[in-house]
Amino acid sequence: MSDHPLNLEPFWMPFTANRQFKAQPRLLESAEGMYYRSMDGHKILDGTAGLWCVNAGHSRQAITTAVSEQIAKLDYAPSFQMGHPLPFRLAKKLVELTPAGLDHVFFTNSGSEAVDTALKIALAYQQARGFGRKQRLIGREKGYHGVGFGGISVGGLANNRKAFGNGLTGTAHLSHTLRRENAFSRGLPEEGAEIADQFEQIIALNDAATIAAVIVEPVAGSAGVIVPPQGYLERIREICTEHDILLIFDEVITGYGRLGAAFATTKFGVTPDIITTAKGLTNGALPMGAVFVSDQIHSAFMQGPENVIELFHGYTYSAHPVAAAAALATIDIYAAEDLFQRAADISGYFEEAVHSLANCRNVIDIRNFGLMAAVELAPRQDASGTRGYDVFNSCFFEQNVLVRVTADTIALSPPLIIEKQQIDEIVENLGAVINATK
């Protein structure tokens, strides 16, 4: 154990190799704009927007002010059979960003809760309209939908599932879309849309009459930025429509500008029935998630006696006033600075820069879309994940650059305010570290 002045022992850290971390901790103390400041005084360039969430850059004054004023005015108010003005204002602003027909919002406190909420709404909707046999939920291999039991059941990352029992019954998984022959594609790979057709086999095997919904990340983030082949999402949408199955886009990462548009749905022109979001909703400043549902789904609930609660679901902190204030200020910044367009404008430069790493040592694939990219390294023999970890760790300690690692894939997702020379700095430093890593 290190002789660090903090007692690192009591905090059981999430998704962390605790003993390894505590032997050589990476501790961040403050942040501004594109940079963190580490506890030992280094200025660290943020290549990951925190955890895919600080889209407008760190410590934005307007968010700080909105949060401070709100907490002084109304610290908490229940949203069960009570209300306060902010979530109504926020929901109105948010639905202006989604395609027409996705005009209702349910608030949660995280992406995981947004996913479980979406899955529950899908099941309850099918029941409400008299299709109660539709109870199966379909996910996708390599999908990440948070850590609730619903999310891990439809999720497709083995490590997130295997220690935690059986999960929901009746789930199935689409094939993932990562193909070795598409390695080093720029943007959407041209080949592979037919992977979507395997959905038809799942339907044939289980009967569409038993399937409530399918959930996918439009671009898979946590598994290492897996970009859908051209036409793939359109095909999934068609199959859903043909078989009366709800389509849920999990936009916890792709939402709020990451792809150079408000949402992946707007970028790709494919409209799901439900969208889950979180992260960039508040610029990461406070926990909040939002689930967008179609008018058709919403109106199926708004039937029957008006004194009856339509959806027996919600969280103590759903639509929390302080989180809502943070979200309102965040959405204003995105609009005032046209940040979604900025991400689109700089994404070509980002793509070029990231693909310049193609000839670096052990690089076996590079994938990108919008301001998301992944550099995949060959795993070391019998030590999968160690090469990626070493690169991540050296970037932090030796180059003062924060990147993200999953297994041997390095992911980049910088704040949308990034400048070209900062892209260069991240990529040059990452390339130097990759080449120096055996």
Ligand X SMILES: Cc1ncc(COP(=O)(O)O)c(C=O)c1O
Among the listed residues 34, 66, 115, 233, the single contact to ligand X using CB under 6 A: 115
Closest residue to ligand X, based on beta-carbon distance: 111
Cβ distance to ligand X smaller for residue 225 or 377: 225
Residues contacting residue 57 through CB under 8 Å, at least 6 positions apart: 32, 33, 34, 415, 416, 417
Stretch that binds ligand X, among 110-118, 292-300, 374-382, 425-433 (CB under 6 A): 110-118
Residues contacting residue 263 through CB under 8 Å, at least 6 positions apart: 97, 98, 249, 251, 254, 255, 256, 275, 277
Cβ distance to ligand X smaller for residue 147 or 203: 147
Q: Which residues 198-217 are close enough to bind ligand X by CB under 6 A? A: 217
Q: Which string of x and - marks every residue 272-311 that binds ligand X (by CB under 6 A)?
A: ------x---------------------------------
SS (H, E, C) 269-301: CCCCCEEEECHHHHCCCCCCEEEEECHHHHHHH
Supply angle C-alpha 46, 49, 52, rounded to 5. 145
| DSSP one-letter string for 338-350 | THHHHHHHHHHHH
Smallest distance, ligand X to C-beta of residue 128, A: 25
Smallest distance, ligand X to C-beta of residue 243, A: 24
Smallest distance, ligand X to C-beta of residue 49, A: 12
Among the listed residues 84, 134, 136, 145, the single contact to ligand X using CB under 6 A: 145
User: In a 10 Å sphere around its CB, with 0-12 CB exposed, 13-18 middle and 19+ buried, how is residue 364 labelled?
Assistant: middle
Among the listed residues 221, 224, 321, 370, the single contact to ligand X using CB under 6 A: 221
Stretch that binds ligand X, among 108-116, 164-172, 231-239, 328-336 (CB under 6 A): 108-116
Q: Which two tokens stand for residue 174?
A: 């689409």
The helix, strand and coil proportions of the chain, stated in percent and rounded to the nearest 5, come to 40, 15, 45
Cβ distance to ligand X smaller for residue 291 or 333: 291
Cα(133)–Cα(209) distance, rounded to whole angstroms?
6
Binding residue count for ligand X, defined by CB under 6 A: 14
Cα(372)–Cα(221) distance, rounded to whole angstroms?
8
Among the listed residues 50, 111, 321, 414, the single contact to ligand X using CB under 6 A: 111
Q: Which residues 236-275 are close enough to bind ligand X by CB under 6 A? A: 250, 252-253
Smallest distance, ligand X to C-beta of residue 170, A: 21
**Does residue number 108 form part of the binding site for ligand X (CB under 6 A)?**
no
Rounded-to-10 torsion of CA 10, 14, 18, 21: -110
Smallest distance, ligand X to C-beta of residue 276, A: 7
Residues lying near ligand X in the complex (CB under 6 A) are found at 110-112, 115, 144-146, 217, 221-222, 250, 252-253, 278
